[in-house]
Amino acid sequence: MKTIAANDLKTRGVASIDAALADQEEAIISVRGKDRYVVMDVETYNRLRVCELEAALYQARREIAEGQGVEESVEAHLDRLRKLEP
């Protein structure tokens, strides 16, 4: 993964990100020599979000299949949540 120095980002702006992402999906932005941020194009971000949501759906379906789910109305759910508040 390519690294973009914060100073390069300051001087070259978005062009430094475009150059780093020209041949890969992600790049790291380093600040004072330490990796701090990851940048990616929107298509890559959206693909990762879809994967994350599919994983959450898989986990929810597994928990329901194992009997860990609760079936209730919206009102009952909100009441249960309010009881959990300190």
For the segment 21-80, what is each residue's pLDDT rounded down to a tens digit?
999 999 999 999 999 999 999 999 999 999 999 999 999 999 999 999 888 999 999 999
Note the pLDDT tens digit of each residue in 62-71.
Answer: 999 999 988 8
Instruction: Name the pTM for this structure.
Output: 0.68
CA distance 50 to 42: 12
The secondary structure of the chain, three-state, reads CEEEEHHHHHHHCHHHHHHHCCCCCEEEEEECCEEEEEEECHHHHHHHHHHHHHHHHHHHHHHHHCCCCCCCCHHHHHHHHHHHCC
The correct answer on CATH 1.10.3470 for the domain covering 2-40 is no
Would you state the pLDDT for residue 71? 86
The full set of domain ranges for the chain reads 2-40, 43-84
Would you state the pLDDT for residue 13? 95
